[in-house]
Amino acid sequence: MLLEVNPLVLPDLGLVVWSTLAFLILMWVLGKFGWKPIMKAISEREQGISDSLATAEKVRAEMAQLKSDNEILLVQAREERAQILKEAKEIKDKMINEAKDQAKDAAAKIMQDTQQAIENQKMAAIIDLKNQIGHMVVEVSEKILRRELADKAEQEHYIKQLTDEIKMN
């Protein structure tokens, strides 16, 4: 035989037996106490991670929903505020106008009353004046008539005196 079979490629029975034994031990021990819990834990972890991710996604959506809700509320509040302000302004204007009108009315009434009073006083004064003038005329006439024509000049003088007296009054 030119090429002997190299001893490297001849499997030793002993090593085959020991390898089989070692591998079976490994299969049994690790299969029971190693791989099973590890694989279980890993798949649990993966499950946990995917669950967490799903939850996070859900929470994120909820947060977005809340945010948009808030925004809507904010807009509504803003609108309401504007509305209230507008109404307040209207009420204010209305009140001012009413007050103005009332004041105007009151002023007009006062003016009217005053005018009335003035008129009344004026009329009373005129009547009083008329009465006094009449009275004076009567008095002067009486005195003139009493002296009866004594002297023309005297008469004249007297008249003049009387008139002066009137003036004095």
Partner 1 sequence: MVAAFSICILFFYNISLAQEAHSSHPAEQQPNTKQDKEDELDVAGTILEHIRDDHSWHLWGHTSIPLPVILKTDKGLEVFSSARLSDEHHNPVVYNGNYPYQQIEGRIKVVNEDGSINAEASKKLYDFSITKNVLSMLISVALLIIVFLGVARAYKKTGVSSAPKGFQSFIEPVIIFIRDEVARPCLGHQTDRFMPFILNIFFFIWINNLLGIVPFFPGGANLSGNIAFTFTLALFTFVITNVNGKGDYWKHIFWMPGLPVPLKIFLMPIELLGVFIKAISLTIRLFANITAGHILVLSLVSLIFIFKAISASVVVVPFTVFIGLIELLVGFIQAFIFAMLSALYIGMAIEENHEQDLVL
Q: Which residues lie near partner 1 (CB under 8 A)?
A: 2-4, 6-20, 22-23, 25-27, 29-31, 33-39, 41-42, 44-45, 48
**In the complex with partner 1, which residue's Cβ is closer, 36 or 160?**
36
User: Residue 32 Cβ, how far from partner 1 at the closest point, in Å?
Assistant: 9
**In the complex with partner 1, which residue's Cβ is closer, 26 or 73?**
26
CA distance 139 to 141: 5
Q: What are the structure tokens assigned to 153, written together?
A: 């000049």
CA distance 168 to 86: 72
User: Residue 62 Cβ, how far from partner 1 at the closest point, in Å?
Assistant: 23
**In the complex with partner 1, which residue's Cβ is closer, 10 or 153?**
10
User: Residue 56 Cβ, how far from partner 1 at the closest point, in Å?
Assistant: 15
User: Residue 54 Cβ, how far from partner 1 at the closest point, in Å?
Assistant: 16
- Contact indicator for 147, 155 with CB cutoff of 8 Å: yes
**In the complex with partner 1, which residue's Cβ is closer, 51 or 119?**
51
